[in-house]
Chains A and B, each alone.
Chain A
């Protein structure tokens, strides 16, 4: 029994500390009692999808509407009811309104970094960025902390995400970038993974046989040297990935049933969501997408309504529904966020006005992996200018995200220079997500 694993209700450090002091009320017996009573739940998720809404989406026009606010705040959109009584979201998110039961809306998330780069680093790592050290993104940490099948890349970015970097953990935890966005109904291949330049599996096997026979300069010394050992291991894995039908199949969205694929639509974002679903189903541990266009300093409403929201609504709703249909939503955490919200008060930069960067109040979405959908957690004030109460920090959401994956966010890593770094230094798990 894996008692030492991170479990709901306590962090590993708490457990150890309590163990060291002893007799202070939290013992193994207590733990077992709590576990039996269902207060401690093992992590359900083993995979994750992180979607970065690059540019910073307007919270007031999407998931945190204020229909009672004055005109210069409220904006042009109207709220609509959703499939969960009492929760309303924007009229331009009709499909997401029909599946609110599958995800949680966090309102009143707050931080102070109003530049794209810094804000993006913050929400992609869960730790406020500093100049001297690059923190690892979620994908790198999850890759490091979870077991992966050998013939699949563990971490995939569609097509890439500049902020999901491995940071000080090192390049080996970097995502495999697909480089391109798949197109609906088309076969899709990824850089280096699919056989290219007209090669057949037989030819690759022939080449590998030759390679094995000729790669002998260091023979007998491989186990003495980590570099040689690593290169041999990577060579083995690369060969498995390249020649295995599994990884090629994983990327080939044209193999999805047309009925299933149809609900994702034909936009690049929707098809990327379809690929993400397929990759998770195949055994990939972490998929990240980046969807831009949210930096609406000008013409906020037209741009959202005509360009940004429809693909987002269709693709993300299909992602939730698709994971659910395949029975993957329970084992997959989905985390959706921009780097900040946007100014509640509408500016005069264009005829219809725009909204500017606003980290003090924003929304985030979480779903799957034991997170109880159909809730709104947190609250902003009357004009969505600040959290009404304490608010959530990106750190808290990150801690909760890791928690759902069974990763102890207080675990310490060491940088190359030996500096100890906590995965999420200042976060606390939001218990209500799992209630």
Chain B
């Protein structure tokens, strides 16, 4: 038997599991289950409220969302949703205005009468009179229906589930799960009849309410067992090809990632696809890593390069490109929620706060500052640096924000705007946002009830949220600086002593004129709220907060509670911080995380390949949180470089990385790709070199911001709205509007037709240098760079037409055309009035292929 507390420790490192290692060393003396002990009417044992009564409510479905777990209750009776709020449940049961529990006449208690009588109970028959369930409730009531929250709530140190893994061979194979609870006091009890069970993919395995498993189709998933606070996943799989699983071919595994991926595939009898072609690799890695299409000549050079390490060198080259810094800054802005709409008025200059947020992260991604340091600059941020006075702070910021300034907010040691968003100012909202951004954990369920898929209780949430109360945003300077604020305002000649919408322009004029203007500031006050004067000298009341699944922190002992959070994040045994990041990076490269969805790390949602995720997590920590290590490690793996073309064994694989998964280009990348594919050679090279006007360099999804890129198109293609603490704020799904945009939007058509910087125009001028001049076009003399010296007014020769077709392919789908494609395209160009007219059609068609908009 394998003890599942070990597995749990790896998955979550929760303290109640760690405890198990020390104590749960006595595998004997397991109490038989309540179903046996309470089978007979004359049972004398008294069940426990925590161990038996509340779990039984859960097992019978009483505290479900549709029944008494509903926030309105049902039939006047409300239980805490999914249990674990023992006090509330106890009070509801013992409510003196009802006889749900009748200690005087136990057998008349409604919890015995109603569920055993289908007619009286809207929820129907839940158990039979005289069943073990009946006797559990009955004996608890007869013994006085006792529960003392101070004494009677014990820690469950482990839930041991057997078998620990199931491999089955054919549809209809049957298994049963058994669960043993190990309590703090050392007692061990078979709790199988009190558990709830779920299958994460019922197509692969079904599980009934008694833990009986029935195998289904080939594939792998997890069964999940719930009891008390424990959530234990059990892997179950059926090989896709048994013969292959036994007789697996020799698959190259050049990197550790490949070893770990193939180890799992071997068990499943799934063979990975072949290596992708060089052209596919270049396009894929350029779009994924730098959000940028490769240039046509870059593709040609790469294809011509015979050296065996060219892929690794390309990855290194791309990691140094501005596209890398810009695109991964955009991703980090997604995760941290950089949203100008929520930052309105935080800085007097519109758009400046989200731009500062972007710039600050950009500089650090570019310099490859370790991830934990980058995050520390956000988590423990205050507006003022070190001992800066309010005036000095305002002077610095004025200098940075002044129009024409060559200074950047990136110089500041920390980036406080994360804490200034108006939708994240209350501690519970901040706790949710923090867990989402830095832990990849969704704790919002626990704000109101026991988390249905994780260990978190409402109490855990409340204790965690206490870390977030001390950060404030002061519009007129922190307390103690109000007079400095007033002085600055007075010096500007502002009448009513404060900045508001009416005098905003006056403030902006002053800024432009070189004056110091006042700013709102994020600061920390770690004093109890509303402490009144008389109590000031008395010892402060005990105040603590608790890290998620971690230790209790004395808030009185630290200046800034966020420092404790940050120390916890970067400590090597933090179960989430590094994992969340590497998993998100992985999810970006494969379209699916090792934990999927990537922002939902929970016990009931285990990784598809735990060893792989552990390897990346530990490696990331050991590298000193080096983000480029993660990128290199993944991109250099054969797994990343597999072809998208499936074979018979992996065609249905969507979670074990046996092939490259097709993904639509993200919004910003798609918009930039359309612009680059249609741009002249020199403009395309400029876009790759500089970030001006690039969608991947836009700070925030604020529709009012105009940055060259089309905000309509970005919206249609689903740029992250950065609103709701969910990686799903970014949409990767295709839509009709996207296709209409690509096929027929005037913006796209205009990009094809554009003068000066368009490719079609470049070719036109190359072959018909006088064409535009004759039409009154604005060809400038200094544009020779793009045009060759072909004779005036000539038509391209056959050879030249073929070359144009090749170039069109290289600049869109980043490969050379096949002979068939070349032939078909050439036919089209020949059939048109002029080859150049046909070339516009070809470019249009190529950006409308699936191959263009799908990263493959």
Contact surface of A with B, Cβ cutoff 8 Å: 20-21, 131-134, 153, 168, 170-172, 174, 176-177, 179, 191-193, 195-197, 199, 203-204, 206-207, 210-211, 213-218, 221, 224-225, 227-228, 230-232, 234-235, 237-239, 241-242, 416-417, 420
Contacts and interface: CB of A to CB of B under 8 A. Distances in A.
B642 to A, nearest CB: 15
Given A131-B725, A171-B737, A241-B740, 12 more contacts: A131-B429, A174-B735, A192-B743, A193-B744, A195-B744, A204-B744, A207-B841, A210-B845, A215-B849, A218-B856, A235-B739, A235-B848
B619 interface: no
Contacts of A199: 749
B734 A207 contact: no
A15 B175 CA distance: 37
Interface string B740-769: 110111100110010000000000000000
Of the listed residues B724, B725, B853, the one surrounded by the most CB atoms of chain A closer than 10 A to its CB is B724
Interface in B797-829: 813, 821, 824-825, 828
A171 B740 contact: no
Contact of B739 (A168, A221, A231): A231
A189 B728 CA distance: 33
Which residue, A168, A193, A417, has most C-beta atoms of chain B within 10 A? A417
Interface in B48-97: 65
B842 interface: yes
Contacts of B842: 210, 214
Interface in B244-286: none
B646 interface: yes
A172 B728 contact: no
Contacts of A170: 731, 733
Contact of B851 (A20, A134, A217): A217
A417 B740 contact: no
B716 to A, nearest CB: 7
Given A207-B845, A227-B663, A242-B740, A171 B645 contact: no
B724 A133 contact: yes
Contacts of A21: 124
B841 A206 contact: yes
B724 A131 contact: yes
Query: What are the 9 A-B residue pairs with the smallest beta carbon separation, nearest first?
Result: A234-B739, A217-B851, A197-B749, A196-B746, A211-B845, A192-B740, A238-B739, A172-B735, A215-B849
Given A211-B849, A227-B662, A231-B853, A176 B734 contact: no
A216 B821 CA distance: 9
A148 to B, nearest CB: 10
Contacts of A214: 821, 824-825, 842, 845-846, 849
B646 A221 contact: yes
A213 B444 CA distance: 50
Contacts, number: 150
B551 to A, nearest CB: 27
B845 A217 contact: no
B734 A238 contact: no
A416 B726 contact: yes
Given A132-B432, A228-B662, A417-B726, A193 B735 contact: no
Contacts of A228: 662, 850, 854
A231 B651 contact: no
A405 B670 CA distance: 37
Nearest to A167: B724
Given A153-B736, A176-B737, A192-B740, A224 B824 contact: no
Interface of B: 65, 124, 423, 429, 432, 442, 444, 597, 600, 645-646, 651, 662-664, 712, 716, 718, 723-726, 728, 731, 733-741, 743-746, 749-750, 753, 813, 821, 824-825, 828, 841-842, 844-846, 848-851, 853-854, 856
A197 B746 contact: yes
Chain A CB count within 10 A is highest, among B651, B741, B813, B848, for B848
18 contacts: A132-B432, A132-B724, A171-B733, A192-B737, A192-B746, A197-B746, A207-B844, A210-B825, A210-B841, A211-B848, A215-B845, A218-B854, A225-B662, A227-B734, A235-B743, A238-B736, A238-B740, A416-B728
A213 B651 CA distance: 25
B735 A234 contact: yes
A191 B712 contact: yes
Nearest to A172: B735
B744 A238 contact: yes
A214 B723 CA distance: 40
Contacts of A172: 733-736
B454 to A, nearest CB: 13
A232 B848 CA distance: 11
Contacts of A192: 737, 740-741, 743-746
A171 B423 contact: no
Contacts of B600: 417
A234 B854 CA distance: 14
Contacts of A420: 65
B726 A231 contact: no
A231 to B, nearest CB: 5
A109 B411 CA distance: 53
B851 to A, nearest CB: 4
Contacts of A213: 824
Contacts of B750: 197
Nearest to A220: B645
A215 B723 contact: no
A237 B850 contact: no
Contacts of B848: 211, 215, 235
A234 B736 contact: yes
Q: B651, B724, B740: which has the most chain A beta carbons within 10 Å?
A: B740
A285 B386 CA distance: 59
Contact of B718 (A171, A218, A225): A171
| B442, B646, B841 pick with most chain A CB within 10 angstroms | B841
Nearest to B748: A192
A221 to B, nearest CB: 7
A153 B739 CA distance: 12
Contacts of B740: 176, 192-193, 238, 241-242
A109 to B, nearest CB: 22
A30 B195 CA distance: 41
A227 B744 contact: no
Contacts of A232: 850
Nearest to B426: A131
Contacts of A131: 423, 429, 432, 724-725
B824 A215 contact: no
Contacts of B597: 416-417
B845 A417 contact: no
A218 B737 CA distance: 22
Given A133-B724, A134-B724, A231 B850 contact: yes
Given A192-B744, A221-B646, A227-B663, A132 B712 contact: no
A224 B734 contact: no
A18 B714 CA distance: 48
A310 to B, nearest CB: 30
B854 A221 contact: no
A217 B849 contact: yes
Contacts of A179: 712
B749 A417 contact: no
Nearest to A214: B845
Contacts of A197: 746, 749-750, 753
B743 A239 contact: yes
Contacts of B712: 177, 179, 191
Contact of A237 (B724, B736, B813): B736
A66 B269 CA distance: 77
Contact of B442 (A134, A168, A215, A417): A417
Contacts of A416: 597, 726, 728
A174 B740 CA distance: 13
A263 B323 CA distance: 55
A131 B425 CA distance: 12
Given A197-B749, A416-B597, A132 B845 contact: no
A167 to B, nearest CB: 9
A238 B733 contact: no
